Amino acid sequence: MAKFMYVFRGGGYAAKEPLSPTELQQHLAKWNAWINSLLAAGRLAGAHALEHPATGKTLLGRDRIVSDGPYAESKDLVTGAMIVEAESLAEATELARDCPIFEHDGSVEVRPVVVLPTL
């Protein structure tokens, strides 16, 4: 089976209106259910959420200039990544359709992963 990366942008983490603690708990429960369904189906190969989307550093250009945080519109901030296994890009895309990120206008970018030889 091939590997595909889901790059998550926006969503509940970066919602225009912050989620209440109850809404956040309910949203995270949906994420847990979706992730557990991928795990149970043998499709999940790894997943990582990021700390608050505005936390971090960005290195730019040949001079590797360091700036604070990834400053972009909240809908464009990367909020996490996941590796799934699927037979094709079409199947990986179909698996992403149930992602809870869409409830808060987020997006999932589905990208084939090149598996490099181990050293």
Contacts of range 113-117, beta carbons closer than 8 Å, 24 or more positions apart = 113/2, 113/3, 113/4, 113/5, 113/83, 115/3
Burial class, 105, CB count within 10 angstroms (exposed 0-12 / middle 13-18 / buried 19+): middle
Copy the structure tokens of residue 97: 């359709």
Local confidence pLDDT in tens for the 119 residues of the chain = 999 999 998 877 666 677 888 988 999 999 999 999 999 999 999 998 887 656 788 888 899 888 876 666 666 678 889 999 999 999 999 999 999 999 988 999 999 999 888 87
Give the pTM: 0.84
CATH code 3.90.550.10 for 2-112: no
